[in-house]
Amino acid sequence: MTSLDSTPQAVQGAETGHSTQPVHGTEAAKQIPPAAVARLTIYLRALNTLLSDGVERVSSESLAEASGVSSSTLRKDLSYVGSYGTRGVGYEVQYLSRHISAALGLTHDWKVAIVGAGNLGKALARYGGFESRGFDVVAIFDADQMVVGNEVGWLRVSDAADMEAVLQRTGANMVVLALPAHVAQAVCDRVVAAGVHSILSFAPVMLQVPEGVNLRKVDMATELQILAYHAQRAQTPDQTA
């Protein structure tokens, strides 16, 4: 239930609460503040880079610096997953990586289906970086019969009319909505009724989901507006000085 391709910008969005709808559901979501969840994904990425470089231990200062946060923020965030490290010794990289992955639910087998095979849906389906982070894109749907059957990456676009059957057959447990706003709620309802309770929506519309369904909304336009606001403030001389 978190933005998994978290950049420092995404973390700012999570902190300001502008880019997300409320998160319902999982234990982790109830216990760890959303901004901390977003930062945990950044620590995980930094830890995995250290792992691939063969680094076995890391100090909180080094991990904090690699993640772009203060040491105290890092320590507080890691306390949510119950991992404190050892004074003077630091954190064991592999252990901490596994621990954060488990807390974020990344040890599960996530199978992602994309609904909408337009510009965005196709770009997401072709992106090769999800699999290495534990997300297997297993299906892509569209309602346009001119698009159904087309190849996108190694997938073939399925007919949205068959969505329930294909979701079941592929075992998809996450759905990405890359659809026009006016159809998003109806499709979202079908996805929920089909038993998929983790949904990431790019559609520029507020969606309603029942309790127990995790819904995240990606809104790049809002993020750009926030950036514009900060850029403008940085250019405006401080009137109070």
Chain residues binding ligand NAD by CB under 6 A are 115-121, 141-144, 147, 160, 178-181, 183, 187, 202-204, 218-220
- Determine whether the annotation assigns residue 13 to a binding site: no
Q: Which is nearer to ligand NAD, 84 or 229 (CB)?
A: 229
Q: For ligand NAD, which is the closer residue by CB, 23 or 183? A: 183
Instruction: Please identify, using beta-carbon distances, which residue of 103 and 147 lies nearer to ligand NAD.
Output: 147
Kindly compute the dihedral angle of the four CA atoms of residues 106, 111, 114, 119, in this order, to the nearest 10 degrees. Answer: 70
Q: Specify whether the CB–CB gap between 185 and 215 falls below 8 A.
A: no
117 appears as a binding residue in the annotation: yes
Question: What is the DSSP track for the chain?
Answer: ---SS--HHHHHHHHHT-S-PPP---HHHHHS-HHHHHHHHHHHHHHHHHHHTT--EE-HHHHHHHHTS-HHHHHHHHHHTT---BTTTBEEHHHHHHHHHHHTTTTS-EEEEEE--SHHHHHHHH-TTTGGGTEEEEEEEES-TTTTT-EETTEEEEEGGGHHHHHHHHT--EEEE-S-HHHHHHHHHHHHHTT--EEEE-SSS-----TT-EEEE--HHHHHHHHHHHHHHHHS--TT-
Provide, rounded to whole angstroms, the least separation between the CB of residue 115 and ligand NAD. Answer: 5
**Nearer to ligand NAD by C-beta: 21 or 48?**
21
Provide the minimum distance between the beta carbon of 107 and ligand NAD in the complex, in angstroms, as a whole number. 28
CB of 26 to ligand NAD, least distance (A): 23
- Closer to ligand NAD at the Cβ: 86 or 119? 119
User: 42 to each of 10, 66, 134, 212, 221, how far by Cα in Å?
Assistant: 10, 9, 15, 26, 22
**In this complex, which beta carbon is closest to ligand NAD, that of residue 110 or of residue 202?**
202
- Tell me how far, at minimum, the Cβ of 114 lies from ligand NAD, in Å: 10
Residue 90 annotated in ligand binding: no
- For ligand NAD, the nearest residue by Cβ is 118
Q: How far is the CB of 182 from ligand NAD (least distance, A)?
A: 8
121 is an annotated ligand-binding site residue:
yes
Shortest reach from residue 122's CB to ligand NAD, in Å = 7
Residues making up the annotated binding site for NAD(+) are 116-121
Residues making up the annotated binding site are 116-121
